[in-house]
Structure 1
């Protein structure tokens, strides 16, 4: 953004624009002060099969009251609430159980080196990665200042609201993580899920309920917004990640949707999520993104 600002010729018009921008920012910061995002709330884990349980390294959950925060574009945080996850006794649950057990294990015998790279490369917070993608492709595609600002306003308002929508669903359904599910597979009533008491995920599981995947939602939403503003999802880019494994610092993509799919799959490869949670996350992410795009900051004709 600083570079785009530097590209604008100096003069009275630029000075007036900078003054207006600061005034608007100050007004909006005051409007958002005490908007509820600072609250954390209380949480008590339940104990029946399928309920979220604390995972190793944590005796708390993050932001059980996050959804009291004020959204930017949603009428309510439940506007795009996910449908319930598959029942523990279903074949859909068993298939997702077996997949993450095999591919998300720290000692996986089936996960490829590239899949392990994806797990770590996409581990950084989604809003960091997708803002970096936005900056990279906006400059590559030659977006003008107004459209660049529109892109990042849409992207970040949407990602914030998407976290609210995702965490609304997470705490409504309060679903256990693969770590807990696999350690207690004998208690779920499904003959096609086999427990393994020594199973460990590839990476440390974050401290909040599993379904849906917020990370997958952020990836799908990021791809939807960036591609809509650019007018195409077919964008070539090479990018680094702050969480990449040594020797795998960069990944190259030809398509934003391909990047979003890797973002979602990473949560299976690192042992955090079931497939049904990443698929629902992608659906929810695109739904919230389309709502934002269709109703806010419409392109000036």
Structure 2
């Protein structure tokens, strides 16, 4: 149903609400204490830069060495960022503690627990040694290491039995019009993800579901992606094609790398830095979890399946197009909502509410670069990229942005 606001309207609401989201509650189990009272600056001036460096290390460990899919990898980034934020807050509160040692050890220990290859662990050990080498030896360093280890241990213990990698969860829906099916012999990728215990949310964000196949809204979305999303589209411009192919890269790592570069030039204090990444990662992970459950439960078909069987969808305003293939290869899960949109909307909303709408980010994918002067422009291109690439209907993309934005708002109130 097209009862929700379009993405542009949702973005306007987001900006209007931003000043209202300044007060935060503390997430139970992930307490981030206030910095020491009466201290005008953080003692360890290097700690914020080290926290950013460990975000880059986490991306390398999770996505380059671990080769995880973006939604699954997002879980481990959130575990890392929450432990780091916990360690940073406690180190600042207690005093006489190396904040650098605390955040580096927390990040190291979480990643070391989950990524067990000899190469990853050797790299993590070397990274930790490099971080600690910047800290004077002594009680402050030792105390920071202890605090970091304790924060990591709490996080790891809190996620035992959370539903990850449950191979018994298998997507299986009878073949029918409007229902997504994996390729013969295939399966839904990471079907278990929708059943994982959320990282911070304690309730689900509602969405109104896909458009009915017989509706005018569905026909409009169908014909848009049919015209613009195929490998042979004569209506899609070269600029649209370039955007579609650019955003076919891992959005989680692409956005995070751009943010790290921004923070290199516009550094924040330690707690502001760790809070920002904890909120981004929790919002992305919990949006992914909700998205995957909806993909599993609804199983709404992808455009390439819809276009092949349009003669049977009961909508007189749609027509099949033999031989239609999407510009970008479709992943092994259903259309609604969008995984890519989950990463984009959650990230952009947290950054918008924290740093402002006009936060400039330079996205990089291999040798390609795309600069964005504001977050709405980034979201616009990322949303349309999935239509121009033939992967999603507009309805699924716009609903995902509503889902990601609302999840970000809720996370902002839960992580202080």
Q: Please, what TM-score do these two structures have when normalized by structure 1?
A: 0.89
Post-superposition offset of 1:145 = 1.9
Contiguous gaps of at least 5 residues in structure 1? 243-247
* Structure 2 counterparts to residues 289-300 of structure 1, below 5 A: 289-294=408-413, 296-298=414-416
Are residues 254 and 90 of structure 1, via their aligned partners in 2, closer, same or farther at CA, if it must alter by over 3 Å? same
Determine the C-alpha separation between the residues in 1 that align with 2:252 and 2:309.
33
2:230 touches 2:325 (CA, 8 Å); kept in 1? yes
2:170 touches 2:187 (CA, 8 Å); kept in 1? no
* Structure 2 counterparts to residues 27-38 of structure 1, below 5 A: 27-38=154-165
Post-superposition offset of 1:14 = 4.6
1:103 touches 1:268 (CA, 8 Å); kept in 2? yes
* Structure 2 counterparts to residues 16-55 of structure 1, below 5 A: 16-40=143-167, 41-55=169-183
2:255 touches 2:363 (CA, 8 Å); kept in 1? no
The alignment status of 1:180 with 2:305, answered yes or no, reads yes
What secondary structure does 1:281 align onto? helix
Please name the residue that 2:404 is paired with. Answer: 285
* Structure 2 counterparts to residues 160-175 of structure 1, below 5 A: 160-175=285-300
Post-superposition offset of 1:138 = 2.4
Identify the range of structure 1 (6-15 vs 261-270) with the bigger mean alpha-carbon deviation: 6-15
Determine the C-alpha separation between the residues in 1 that align with 2:283 and 2:215.
33
Cα displacement string for residues 129-182 of structure 1 (whole angstroms, at most 9, x for unaligned residues): 222232122223221222111111111112111111111222222100001000
Name the structure with the higher helix share. 2
The alignment status of 1:208 with 2:333, answered yes or no, reads yes
Post-superposition offset of 1:223 = 0.6
Cα displacement string for residues 22-45 of structure 1 (whole angstroms, at most 9, x for unaligned residues): 221122112213321111412223
2:230 touches 2:389 (CA, 8 Å); kept in 1? yes
Please name the residue that 1:234 is paired with. Answer: 358
What secondary structure does 2:354 align onto? helix
- Over alpha carbons, which structure has the higher Rg? 2
The alignment status of 1:272 with 2:391, answered yes or no, reads yes
2:258 touches 2:362 (CA, 8 Å); kept in 1? no
Post-superposition offset of 1:267 = 0.8
Cα displacement string for residues 40-73 of structure 1 (whole angstroms, at most 9, x for unaligned residues): 4122232221111225x87211122322211111
Please name the residue that 1:103 is paired with. Answer: 228
Please name the residue that 2:201 is paired with. Answer: 74
Contiguous gaps of at least 5 residues in structure 2? 1-48, 55-99, 101-130
Are residues 150 and 95 of structure 1, via their aligned partners in 2, closer, same or farther at CA, if it must alter by over 3 Å? same
Post-superposition offset of 1:233 = 1.4
Determine the C-alpha separation between the residues in 2 that align with 1:136 and 1:265.
25
1:81 touches 1:168 (CA, 8 Å); kept in 2? no
2:166 touches 2:192 (CA, 8 Å); kept in 1? yes
What secondary structure does 2:406 align onto? helix
What secondary structure does 2:166 align onto? coil
* Structure 2 counterparts to residues 58-207 of structure 1, below 5 A: 59-76=186-203, 79-207=204-332
Determine the C-alpha separation between the residues in 1 that align with 2:157 and 2:404.
28
Determine the C-alpha separation between the residues in 1 that align with 2:182 and 2:378.
30
Post-superposition offset of 1:217 = 2.5
1:67 touches 1:168 (CA, 8 Å); kept in 2? yes
> CA RMSD of the aligned region, Å?
2.1
What secondary structure does 1:277 align onto? helix
Please name the residue that 1:245 is paired with. Answer: none
Aligned residues: 288
